Structure 1
Amino acid sequence: MMERKLFIDGKWQEAADANRIAINDPATGEFVGSSALASRRDVDIAVEAASRALPAWAETHADNRAKILHRAADLIVERVDAIAETLTREQGKPVPDAKKEILFGVEVIRFYAEEGRRLGGSMRPASRADIRNLVTTAPVGVVGGIIPWNYPVDLYSWKVAPALAAGCTLVAKPPHETPLAIGMVVQCFADAGLPAGVLNDIPGTGPEVGAALAEHPGIRMVTATASVPAGQSIMRAAAGNLKRLSLELGGQCPFIVLDDADPAEAAAAAARRSFSNMGQICIAVNRILVSKGIHGRFVEALVAETTRIKLGHGVEPGVLYGPMLLDSGRKRVAAHIEDAVSRGGRLLAGGGAPKGAEYERGFFFEPTLVDDVPDQALAMTEETFGPLAAIRPVADDEEALRVANALPFGLSAYVYSGDLERAWRLAEKIEAGAVGVNVNDTSELQAPFGGWKMSGIGRELGREGIEAFRETKHIKLRLRG
């Protein structure tokens, strides 16, 4: 059992109003630990600490910042087994997935430690012979980071690592639902020698702490992974002092299967991307758009893949699929299924809570497939954020493209085909920040990640991920004589 506090100005401390929240295992309902729960008062205290620490950290040489980040990464690796078990018990994902998540976060930290060393400027052409134009960058300032509960450690690294490497200080708001593993990661940064006040970590709710960060005049930038409504609220609140924003918001990702695809390969990829982490992923497959010529074979293969999935407690050996985090999520999935079936969809697999004593106390839900789902159904228009994949036959590539682009979201999409040129042409026309062609994961450390349309603004990962935390400055010099 873990009892964590807020981390402000290099010290662990209780919340200003002494509030705490219990953390329970979503697989069993058992008590896992508790966390201090921040309020607006704690935001003020943390922003003040980050502001005091900013000048010295911004002037710290990039090599020294990199050494601290690398040391923190080393410590996370040393402690990965304990962090992974904590993450599984508070969030529900199986230990292998938790460990994979944490180790990718380590890669992100190491990547930005080195990218920080490569930050520089350039000389630009001038209008006169005696003029020199130097273009350089500087840290944007104090950053507010808002992290979600579905991949808390990984997405914490996406925000904290580039901001620190860029010379910014932070006030991070971990999810109040899953703050424990992040607390262990924060301790790694502290043990690595991160100066007091550079990273402040205050678990809290979005409506209070998230809103306070977005509104706070001492915060110069907010980076958040959140739902579309939450992102809209952040934008409105941030307008007060024109904060810079990096928002990765919700998606409703199409998975297109063309008639020349390998049905077994596509089905295996679709099942994993639909049901990994119980579909609680922003780039999870929501809509499967399958060419009529391959529809029957693909659906048969997908049903076989889906019905083989065995749910269980994530700490048990061999378990690859666990519970959902919240009962409210289960209710949303059930509502989307009921809506799809009432509109003529055919339930092919799953559809409710699994039977058995081992599932009675947890928030388990069967991986579910519904075929022939009409375009107006909730499963085709909203982000389910749960283990449901809606299938819709399409006549040809043009219809697949039209349906894929019909929604106001554009985070990720997937195309499976045996003809690379055909898939490439389709991928170029899909309105999304990333498209996976014959691959069911669109995140890549050295490439930018983010959404089009209402799926967000700004980019994380890649070179773009650190440039977001730097302000551009032009220095114009006149030479004498």
Structure 2
Amino acid sequence: MQYQLFINNEFVDPELGEWFDSLDPYNGEPWAQIPRGTREDVDRAAQAAHAALNGPWSKLSPTARGMLLYKLAGLIEENLDLLTEVEARDNGKLRTEVRGQVGYVAKYFYYYAGMADKIHGSVVPMDKPKVFNYTRQEPIGVIGTITPWNSSLLLSAWKVAPALCAGNTIVAKPSEHTSVSLLELAKLFVKAGFPPGVFNVITGFGKDVGEPLVEHPLVPMIAFTGGDEGGRRVNMAAAKHFKKVTLELGGKSPNIVFEDADLTNAANGVITGIFSAGGQTCMAGSRLLLQESIHDEFVERLISITSKAKLGDPSRSDVQVGPVATRPQFEKVVDYIRIAKEEGATCAFGGNVPTGPEYGACQFVEPTIFTNVTNNMRIAQEEVFGPVLSVLKFKDEDDALRIANDIRFGLAAGVWTKSLHRTMYMSERLHAGTVWINNYRSTSFTTPFGGYKDSGLGREGGIEAVKEFLETKSVWISTDLEMPDPFIRKY
């Protein structure tokens, strides 16, 4: 199927009339054609979004905006099967996992639909006589969203829902590898009754579309999710124009298991943290920190459970691990496995590339567990973004904190313990934006998510996300009927 760009509530051909193939990660075959957008297409979309911002969208009451978001959420639920199919076909994830994510996308829009008419300023008690002061919360303007290939719809919803709730308009740029689901979502914006220009989708490559979007003068803010290097380039480019940015970047998150933990639950949580989605998630618990006394036993538990995982066609209900989403990412993961072995880590399980007709285009990597890892190894410091777990030993709480925090990332961390004291001690001292205690990889539209250090800027989720997309205006009203002498100034 050949898709078109979505601009001003219409599907239109790209300026140059060029398309490129979207490949199915399982069989390696093209299944859709994606329009190759250009700088001119970005400009068309930005102009449409700017016109909507200063036209029909701004004239809607906050309650009316919320009702549109509510309708959109309902339509997402009605089209759950279609959105699941196209997203899973694009990124190679398990259909069951994608279905759950798409269902949760609807909940994000429901949540922010209810918040749209609850954004308000405040009256400020003043230290000056005869002055009334209040604040207004106003939308920033046109928001450029740039999202990666691992969870296109969900990560877009994290940005689009609160941004629209706050009254902004959108130019969305999905990954060139996974663009179809966002183009299908665009159809639902029309069906829900959104005014033209409120939501626009420009597909294509970073040089052709991403960079022009970041640089466009009518786009005052960029909301980006991706790798830390990409985020750094976006931040530097946006800074030239004093644009606001939110950056949800990479992680190398520690999952810390103490000897007093429920080891059965912890083992299941560790495997969920790293092997769900094939490890292709920013919050993956890719560093497992084990207390020395339980190291050997716990690794045996992990291997026993992991060895039962079935790899294969992600559309099948009996498959637990799908392919790596793109060929370049597959090659990167395989290269990191080689690097880990060269640096002296022990491959305790997996590490191979399975072949055969049941593996389609053979873009699979076995779930892999490395032991004898030290924290200076690349496998312990760099984001692999694949099904690769690095296991490190620690002695006590302070040793675990030393290892966990000795990283340039700070997205998330997990702690497994039955001790309340240890729970509080670790959660206060871990340098991470999210800390899970006796669970891992939980997210919600009700609470903020984001990272410390190289893991990003800003927060997504909860009320904090809406604040990212607002400007605060201070309004001063004089209640004095006479202006004071201009040469007598009182402070």
TM-score where L is the length of structure 1: 0.97
2:85 paired with 1:51: no
Q: Which residue of 2 aligns with 1:180?
A: 180
Shift of 1:66: 1.1
SS at 1:32 equivalent: strand
SS at 2:476 equivalent: strand
Q: CA separation in 2, counterparts of 1:367 and 1:318?
A: 16
Q: CA separation in 2, counterparts of 1:376 and 1:129?
A: 62
SS at 1:222 equivalent: strand
RMSD over aligned Cα atoms: 1.2
SS at 2:54 equivalent: helix
Q: CA separation in 2, counterparts of 1:476 and 1:331?
A: 59
Q: Which residue of 2 aligns with 1:399?
A: 399
Contact 1:146 1:222 in 2 (8 A): yes
Contact 1:435 1:442 in 2 (8 A): no
Cα-to-partner distance string for 1:193-216 (whole Å, 9 max, x where unaligned): 111111110112223311111111
| Structural mapping, 1:41-440, within 5 Å | 41-56=40-55, 57-440=57-440
Q: CA separation in 1, counterparts of 2:443 and 2:424?
A: 18
Q: Which residue of 1 aligns with 2:467?
A: 467
Q: Which amino acid aligns with 2:134?
A: L
Shift of 1:318: 2.7
Q: CA separation in 2, counterparts of 1:470 and 1:283?
A: 27
Cα-to-partner distance string for 1:413-466 (whole Å, 9 max, x where unaligned): 111112132122111101011111111124222111111011101111000111
Q: CA separation in 1, counterparts of 2:136 and 2:383?
A: 41
SS at 1:267 equivalent: helix
Q: CA separation in 2, counterparts of 1:362 and 1:55?
A: 50
Q: Which amino acid aligns with 1:251?
A: G
Q: Which residue of 2 aligns with 1:21?
A: 20
Shift of 1:409: 0.7
* Deviation >3 Å, runs of 4+: none
SS at 2:240 equivalent: helix
Contact 2:130 2:480 in 1 (8 A): yes
Q: CA separation in 1, counterparts of 2:53 and 2:217?
A: 15
Contact 1:80 1:99 in 2 (8 A): yes
Contact 1:172 1:202 in 2 (8 A): yes
Cα-to-partner distance string for 1:86-109 (whole Å, 9 max, x where unaligned): 111111011111111111111111
SS at 1:135 equivalent: strand
SS at 1:81 equivalent: helix
Q: CA separation in 1, counterparts of 2:276 and 2:36?
A: 29
SS at 1:45 equivalent: helix
Q: Which amino acid aligns with 1:34?
A: Q
Q: CA separation in 2, counterparts of 1:167 and 1:291?
A: 49
Identity, % of aligned positions: 35
Q: Which amino acid aligns with 1:197?
A: G
Shift of 1:334: 1.9
Contact 2:334 2:365 in 1 (8 A): no
Shift of 1:478: 1.3
Q: CA separation in 2, counterparts of 1:298 and 1:445?
A: 33
SS at 1:435 equivalent: strand
Shift of 1:360: 4.5
Cα-to-partner distance string for 1:208-230 (whole Å, 9 max, x where unaligned): 31111111111111001011111
Structure 2: gaps spanning 5 or more residues: 482-491
Q: Which residue of 1 aligns with 2:29?
A: 30
Q: CA separation in 2, counterparts of 1:390 and 1:101?
A: 27
Q: CA separation in 2, counterparts of 1:194 and 1:78?
A: 17
Shift of 1:467: 1.2
Shift of 1:30: 2.4
Q: CA separation in 1, counterparts of 2:109 and 2:369?
A: 37
Moved more, 60-69 or 357-366: 357-366
Contact 2:96 2:317 in 1 (8 A): no
Contact 1:266 1:298 in 2 (8 A): no
Shift of 1:243: 0.6
Q: CA separation in 1, counterparts of 2:206 and 2:267?
A: 37
Contact 1:38 1:204 in 2 (8 A): yes
Shift of 1:356: 2.9
Shift of 1:377: 1.7
Moved more, 278-287 or 371-380: 371-380
Contact 2:28 2:360 in 1 (8 A): no
Contact 1:96 1:320 in 2 (8 A): no
Moved more, 441-450 or 250-259: 441-450
Q: CA separation in 2, counterparts of 1:456 and 1:185?
A: 27
SS at 2:145 equivalent: strand
Shift of 1:343: 2.4
SS at 1:138 equivalent: strand
Q: CA separation in 2, counterparts of 1:377 and 1:442?
A: 28
Q: Which residue of 1 aligns with 2:7?
A: 8
Q: CA separation in 2, counterparts of 1:368 and 1:178?
A: 26
Q: 1:387 to 1:190 in 2, by over 3 A?
A: same
Q: Which amino acid aligns with 1:12?
A: F
Q: Which residue of 2 aligns with 1:39?
A: 38
Q: CA separation in 1, counterparts of 2:417 and 2:336?
A: 29
Q: Which amino acid aligns with 1:342?
A: E
SS at 1:64 equivalent: helix
Structure 1: gaps spanning 5 or more residues: none
Contact 1:424 1:437 in 2 (8 A): no
* Count of residues paired in the alignment: 480
Shift of 1:26: 0.6
Q: Which amino acid aligns with 2:178?
A: T
Shift of 1:480: 3.4
SS at 2:223 equivalent: strand
